[in-house]
Amino acid sequence: MQSQSDILAQAMELMPGKFVREDSRGWATFWCPFHPDEQHQGRSKKPNFGVNLENGQWKCLRCWKAGGSINSLSRQLGVMDWRPSQTPVLPRRAARPPSQVSALDEAISVTRARFIRSPAAEYAHKVRHLSPYVSLVYGLGYGLPRPSVSRDTWQAARVSKMLLRDGEWLWAGGVVYADPPTQPSVLNVRYIPDEMLPQGDRNFVPPDNHHTWGNRIQPLGAWRITPATKTVLVVEGMFDMLVAAQEIRQRGGEREAVAVYTNGASPARKL
């Protein structure tokens, strides 16, 4: 059986200059060799092609090219008689400490309790035209700068790099979405514009309009997929997912259709 370093080396040999990173879940991410991925198309501006370092499966979430082995990748790239060269074992990066987002249920409950009368509800319902029903189903919350939580929860947030040095939470002044809604593996926050926030609800300048913590193992919203699901809509933003879910409900398609948001999840992950 090939080692992960062997599979990574072979993929890099087949796609020179396309490698972006290796994550802690056994996937390697590349710029897709089958479409102009490096032109940063789409809102996320992120690479879309992944190789599973356990078994060599590969897939692009944008052009949907996919295959089950490094050999099939070589054939798709037009290298019909490819044989891997002898490559040295690649150094592996140090493992990241495990995320403790799943231990934040207490803090997430606080965000949900404050949602309905918060700027988050105003932003979701009046600016993004989201219905209160969808906000409730997906468990949206409002990020407080210093929620009243236990020491264990505070420690889990610190380990997950959700706190500034002064103790302010980095979800402050944002719409908080936990995926899945209970014992989440991922927290996604969409920051609300400053002009909609009361003074003191966010005392830092976010580097981007959204932020994510946790292990992005599968697309957000995949928890709604059931054996009855026939259609999966893949979108590029958290509110795109929520609005799509609302449209699906209005059309009476909730049983058979689900919207998901990739959010940097491993592209080769099967839904």
- What are 244-267's pLDDT values in tens digits? 999 999 999 988 999 998 875 544
- Count Cα neighbours of 7 within 13 Å in the Cβ-side half-sphere: 24
Q: Return the bridge partners of 28, or none.
A: 22, 51
Q: Is the pTM of this model over 0.95?
A: no
pLDDT of residue 268: 42
Q: Which residues contact 111 (CB under 8 A, 6 or more apart)?
A: 141, 142, 143, 144, 147, 171, 176
Share of the chain above pLDDT 90, in %: 42
Residue 88 has pLDDT above 50, yes or no: no
**DSSP classification of residue 154:** H
Cα dihedral sign, 170-263-185-57? negative
Residue 190 to residue 70: CA distance in whole angstroms:
37
The better pLDDT of the pair 166, 182 is held by 166
The better pLDDT of the pair 92, 59 is held by 59
CATH, domain range 101-214: 3.90.980.10
> Which of these, 123, 169, 157, 121, lies nearest to 141 by C-alpha position?
121
* Residue ranges of the chain that CATH labels 3.90.980.10: 101-214
The better pLDDT of the pair 40, 139 is held by 139
Residue 97 has pLDDT above 60, yes or no: no
**Candidate from 65-69, 104-108, 215-219, 231-235 with smallest mean pLDDT:** 215-219
Residue 269 has pLDDT above 50, yes or no: no
Segment 202-227 shows an average pLDDT of 88
Over residues 33-64, the pLDDT tens digits come to: 888 776 665 555 678 888 988 888 999 888 88
Over residues 71-85, the pLDDT tens digits come to: 888 888 888 776 766
